[in-house]
Chains A and B, each alone.
Chain A
Amino acid sequence: MKSAWRLTLALMITFTFAACKSTPEPVDEPAQVEEKPPVQVDTKPALDPRDYTNADNFDNPESLLSKRVIYFDFDKSTVLPQYRPIVEAHAAYLASSSSARMTLEGHADERGTREYNLGLGERRGNAVSGLMSAQGGRGSQMNVVSYGEERPTCRVSDEECWAMNRRVEIVYTAR
């Protein structure tokens, strides 16, 4: 216990000194701290999250390329305005990489019959595929597969869960 007190006291004195001395020096200290991270980043060029031709952005949470699920309204297949930028980002990638291939997996929520929902999932996949084509993706790069209501991500019968399940997942089979 005694030694612990001594250590605390020693630290307090040191901090007090540091606080007194710091006024002219803060410019130097942050510079020293910042010096290390830039060295690491400098080994690669800076990643622009808006560069949708760069495959590194698939794993960059700042980039729209890392977002690969489009959600839909009930019994609708219109791509909502808030999801258009995601579709456009992936379309730009497809346009830049002719060897890239993707499967657009269409899904529906549990309401309604299974076979009708297969149709609905496909219609959603086609809507995303159509928008990507309009933005520069080629038809041959996209394959639409509908799973209807067979592969829910969430299994509770409520609105929140249904909203999670009405979706198209963009799955790259080749980048």
Chain B
Amino acid sequence: MVIDNVNRLARRILAFAFLLSLAGTVQAQLQIEIVDGNPSALPIAVVPFEWLEEGYPPIDTVEQIVANDLYRSGLFDPMAVEDMPDRPADAEGIRFGTWRLLQVDYIVIGKVRTPADGQGHEIHYQLFDVHKQERLLSRITTVGPGDLRFGAHKVSDSIYEALTGVPGAFSTRIAYVTATGTGGETHYELVVADADGFGPQSIVGSPEPLLSPAWSPDGRRLAYVSFEQGNSAIYVQDVATGARELVSSGKGINGAPAFSPDGSKLALTLSRTGNPEIYVRDMASGLTKQIVQHWSIDTEPAWSPDGRYVYFTSDRAGRPQIYKVPAGGGNPERVTLEGEYNARASISPDGRKIAVAQGKGNEYRIAVWDIESERFTILTPGRMDESPSYAPNGSMILYATREGDRGVLSAVSADGSVRTRLILSEGDVREPAWSPVIR
């Protein structure tokens, strides 16, 4: 009827008005707490960095940011500043015997000064093995004005790498979707924040559902699904400028975008043939090629790190399982061989493991399939865990879970030993996507 049409039009105008309010600061902040700790976490002291710049140091100091990063990795147990016997800023000032008595294994000292050109910050820092009285690291990290937090995360990255052998992923970002309000009043936001949850920025807001954010390999763009036009549609948006491109909005489902490792292609799910199939779109030419064909639901494509294969979810054998197909198309091969429900694959950066949402009855957990040994390891307790997303260094998996009737984000270490919970102060948080390393 006419009234229905008018309502629809009004809703679209409203949707457009909401979208005009793109890019705003999100009031709510993510908070992090460790749910299950690691008893063998390494004791480390991050001594307050000497502030040599003019004016006062920022409220969140470099050493606090570094200590927090190391703490939430679950692998480190940083000493509280008030428990420190002294605060050396130079190697000569470290009394190793005292620190050893306090059972500190590693010590980090540093200074922050303004570079010679007067722009930004120079973070000078050193890492010592207390027992061996040996310097493990001595570096200067230079960042632009306003990037001191980013610089501190870079310091965390190199300390983490020096002590674990794995590059840190603290200077990366996360994207996620929030839903606030209920029923017809629900408001959705696609948010980008630092990996520690700091500085959340809404990059899209809409009264219609948003889902499936996926980073481009350079970390500059996000592909996502939006229902703002009434049906699902895929957009690719520049995170910094907010400029966006409508990539797909055909009849049926337009979903599950995933950038290829070289960024030249976008795998996606389209149901224009009548049921969901996997397609690969060439970003330069806009040409789209169907790579699988089956009457079942085929969706949630994920690229192998070498770009040769696309993993996807299919219920062609009855229930959802993970399959893989050559990226140029071909015969799909079943990958997951255990479990009644395995979906939404996230491939580890080394290409050896596949994290999935695994369902058993009404319980959904994050499980990791080892491709070589063909075995699952269950990493999380459930019962509504989904959307796994590997950190770019493979050390952790970010995922969505429920607490009561509220969605929250959690991260679990790749071996399942440490879980951290990221809490947004209001609304439902879901659909996390960990960014690649931003250079």
Kindly state the separation between the CA atoms of A126 and B297 in the bound complex, as whole angstroms: 13
- Of the listed stretches B156-164, B166-174, B250-258, B418-426, chain A binds B250-258
Kindly state the separation between the CA atoms of A75 and B297 in the bound complex, as whole angstroms: 12
Contact A155 B182 (CB under 8 A): yes
Q: A116-B320, A116-B343, A156-B405 are in contact. Are A111 and B364 (CB under 8 A)?
A: yes
Contact A112 B8 (CB under 8 A): no
Contact B357 A113 (CB under 8 A): yes
Complex contacts, B182 vs chain A, CB 8 Å: 155
Partner of B300, one of A113, A123, A155, A171: A113
Kindly state the separation between the CA atoms of A96 and B212 in the bound complex, as whole angstroms: 41
Complex contacts, A146 vs chain B, CB 8 Å: 232, 252-253
- Contact flags A94-129 to B (C-beta < 8 A → 1, else 0): 000000000000000011111110111011001000
Contact A114 B212 (CB under 8 A): yes
Kindly state the separation between the CA atoms of A173 and B5 in the bound complex, as whole angstroms: 6
Interface membership of A84, Cβ < 8 A: no
Partner of B253, one of A113, A119, A173: A119
Partner of B313, one of A113, A144, A155, A172: A113
Partner of B8, one of A111, A155, A173: A173
Interface membership of B269, Cβ < 8 A: yes
Interface residues of B in 203-229 (CB under 8 A from A): 209, 211-212, 227
- Of the listed stretches B271-279, B323-331, B389-397, chain A binds B271-279
Contact B4 A173 (CB under 8 A): yes
Interface membership of A174, Cβ < 8 A: yes
Kindly state the separation between the CA atoms of A100 and B216 in the bound complex, as whole angstroms: 43
Q: A112-B357, A114-B211 are in contact. Are A157 and B4 (CB under 8 A)?
A: no
Kindly state the separation between the CA atoms of A91 and B71 in the bound complex, as whole angstroms: 62
Kindly state the separation between the CA atoms of A144 and B271 in the bound complex, as whole angstroms: 11
Interface residues of B in 296-323 (CB under 8 A from A): 297, 299-300, 313, 315, 319-320
Complex contacts, B381 vs chain A, CB 8 Å: none
Contact B300 A116 (CB under 8 A): yes
Partner of B362, one of A111, A145, A150, A175: A111
Kindly state the separation between the CA atoms of A118 and B276 in the bound complex, as whole angstroms: 9
Interface membership of B178, Cβ < 8 A: no
Interface membership of B341, Cβ < 8 A: yes
**Interface residues of B toward A: which range?**
35 or more
Kindly state the separation between the CA atoms of A91 and B236 in the bound complex, as whole angstroms: 39
Interface membership of A72, Cβ < 8 A: no
Interface membership of B230, Cβ < 8 A: yes
Partner of A120, one of B5, B297, B364: B297
Partner of A116, one of B1, B275, B297: B297
Interface membership of B231, Cβ < 8 A: yes
Partner of B209, one of A116, A150, A172: A150
Kindly state the separation between the CA atoms of A123 and B299 in the bound complex, as whole angstroms: 13
Determine the residue in chain B with the shortest Cβ distance to A145. B231
- Contact flags A52-73 to B (C-beta < 8 A → 1, else 0): 0000000000000000000000
Q: A119-B297, A122-B252, A151-B209 are in contact. Are A114 and B431 (CB under 8 A)?
A: yes
Interface membership of A147, Cβ < 8 A: yes
Interface membership of B378, Cβ < 8 A: no
Complex contacts, B69 vs chain A, CB 8 Å: none
Interface membership of B202, Cβ < 8 A: no
Kindly state the separation between the CA atoms of A146 and B230 in the bound complex, as whole angstroms: 10
Contact A114 B387 (CB under 8 A): yes
Q: A112-B341, A118-B255, A119-B271 are in contact. Are A157 and B402 (CB under 8 A)?
A: yes
Determine the residue in chain B with the shortest Cβ distance to A150. B209
Interface membership of B50, Cβ < 8 A: no
Contact B209 A147 (CB under 8 A): yes
Q: A116-B299, A116-B300, A174-B4 are in contact. Are A111 and B359 (CB under 8 A)?
A: yes
Q: Can you list 24 A-B pairs with a CB-CB distance of less than 8 A?
A: A111-B362, A111-B384, A112-B341, A112-B357, A112-B386, A113-B320, A114-B211, A115-B211, A115-B256, A116-B297, A116-B344, A118-B253, A118-B299, A119-B271, A119-B275, A119-B297, A119-B299, A122-B275, A144-B252, A145-B231, A147-B209, A150-B209, A151-B209, A175-B1
Closest 9 A-B residue pairs measured CB to CB? A119-B297, A150-B209, A113-B344, A113-B343, A119-B276, A115-B256, A115-B299, A115-B300, A175-B1
> Known pairs A113-B343, A119-B253, A172-B1. 11 more at Cβ < 8 A?
A115-B212, A115-B299, A116-B343, A118-B253, A119-B299, A122-B275, A150-B211, A173-B8, A174-B4, A174-B5, A175-B1
